[in-house]
Amino acid sequence: MSESTPHNDPASEATRRRTFAVIAHPDAGKSTLTEALALHAHVISEAGAVHGKAGRKATVSDWMEMEKDRGISIASSALQFEYAPAGHEGEPYMINLVDTPGHSDFSEDTYRVLTAVDAAVMLIDGAKGLEPQTLKLFRVCKARGLPIVTVVNKWDRPGKSPLELMDEIVAEIGLQPTPLFWPVGEAGDFRGLARLDTDGEIEEYIHFIRTAGGSTIAPEEHFTPDEAAEKEDVAWETAVEEVELMTADGAVHDRDLFLDCTTSPVIFASAMLNFGVHQILDALCELAPGPAARHTDPKVLASASSAVDESRAPGDDFSGVVFKVQAGMDRNHRDSLAFMRVVSGEFSRGMQVTHAQSGRSFSTKYALTVFGRTRSTVEAAYPGDIVGLVNAGSLAPGDTIYEGRKVQFPPMPQFAPEHFRTLRAKSLGKYKQFRKALEQLDSEGVVQVLKNDARGDAAPVMAAVGPMQFEVMQARMLAEYNVETVTDAVPYTVARRTDAATVPELAKQRGVEVFTRTDGELIALFGDKWRLQFIEKEHPEFTLEALVAD
């Protein structure tokens, strides 16, 4: 993995950055695609697959034991590498790729990643179509203005017809799919791709040749449409008819509509066989937007007593936003990494910056680029790059660091927890390690930690979006701090934000308990939604606000 040369022009460097997330429903093939993209960029020599199928290695992006055991992604993973499409002149593109959890229990981690990228690759299982988590993530991307490239994966397996999948996308989310590469051969009989031009006309046929286990790049053969008709016969005729139907319906790529999140370019692929993979990379390099200006948090700007920049463009002074904090990535290094997206300017290792939330000076002596769990010291980074800051204990997701005039970007969204359990150390002799582990995992946002005087510090209440978050917390406490823990149910299912004026009377109500979250917010837990509705009706003066994403 190559590194940028220090002291290049940030605005110029930004133009060759492509920073995107891979998002989808569980088991759609995100981690397998991540491996395949890295393979086609020639940064690994052999692709892996989750669960390590015969002759294939474990993925570089899934590094937690729970991920390897269950074959799912639990934590987001950042990979950075250079890539030059065929025929590309000049410096290669710098790809910053973030593989994210697909399981709904880890939605909060995925949503944080979406605040740090410029585009998204939405992976759809060709057999299952648009699944619930896929729909949710599509809507989040659209709401955040993230352009979406749709990849229909697993076309080597039996599944739905391509037109049926396109109709689903239009009907379910109102996003117009515009094919760039259309499959030749029905699902389960993937022969190759018809490449379309900007007018929706077929330019060529790309025929793929399978390799052993799909662990190496699949060779390609290129044919003209006439040659393809002779070679593939009925399969080619079917593909041509389907493309003509899509084109007649106006499904033709327009970059402005793509950037406006009105349309989504579509590519059919098989990540497992490495079919259609470099076409995905080429499309991202050509179509996805580079880094753009980011605006200051309106609340900070309105309350500022001194000069605060309204936004930072790529060529401005350095600024960055932390979107994730992660410890335990490497058992040889007992440290934590704050993953920072460079928003503007040049980041130089060792530079002194200001932490916007505290106003304190912050040293960046130890900075890394990350490829799965593999680390490389980075000397310089530019807008769009993702950098791991080592042992940045004062940083939390959503924090801003900057140089020059103050800037503070909007905070990370927090989501309403729906599951609550107490957590305690199984052995009283492990209490000190328990507290240390809890502080670390709380700072990462693995769960929300709620405390009050009645329960004390030994058995705080954990609040999570999904129950699997509790399993991750317990597994990491055991693996990283050697603390075995026990969870116990609590009789609550609904959370609301409240205030100090409401707490005295609210605490007297039956079926309610008030806690303080680590960030100082007062959180009231209720037995169920009916209890909450009753209290809201009886006491309309109470401050009870839903915990929703900003």
Please tell me whether 158 is known to bind a ligand.
Answer: no
Name the one residue in this structure whose structure tokens are 């991307």: 141
The structure tokens 């009916």 sit at 530
Work out whether the CA dihedral 359, 364, 366, 369 comes out positive or negative: positive
Answer whether 322's CB lies under 8 Å from 394's CB. Answer: no
Residue 351 CB partners (closer than 8 Å, separation 6+)? 318, 364, 403
**103 annotated as belonging to a binding site for a ligand:** yes
Please give the Cα distance from 342 to 323 (Å, whole number): 11
Q: Say whether 102 counts as a known binding-site residue.
A: yes
CA–CA dist 304, 308 (Å, integer): 7
- The one-character DSSP state at 406 is B
Burial of 331 (0-12, 13-18, 19+ CB in 10 A): exposed
Nearest one of 79, 82, 85 to 100, comparing CA atoms: 79
Q: How far apart are CA 216 and CA 210, in angstroms?
A: 9
Burial 204-218 (b: 16+ CB within 10 A, else e): bbbbbeeeeebbebb
121 has which bridge partners? 22, 149
Structure tokens at 394: 């004062």
Q: Which residues face 99 on adjacent strands? A: 22, 77
- Comparing CA positions, the residue from 95, 158, 99 lying closest to residue 123 is 99
- Rounded Cα distance between 373 and 363, Å, is 23
Q: CB count, 10 Å around CB of 297?
A: 18
Residues 6+ apart with CB under 8 A from 124: 24, 28, 130, 134, 150, 151, 152, 153, 165
- Stated as kind and residue range, the H or E segment containing 248 is helix 234-248
Question: Does 101 count as an annotated binding residue?
Answer: yes
Contact 202, 243 (CB under 8 A): yes
Give the residue ranges of the annotated binding site for GTP: 99-103
* Residue positions forming the annotated binding site: 99-103
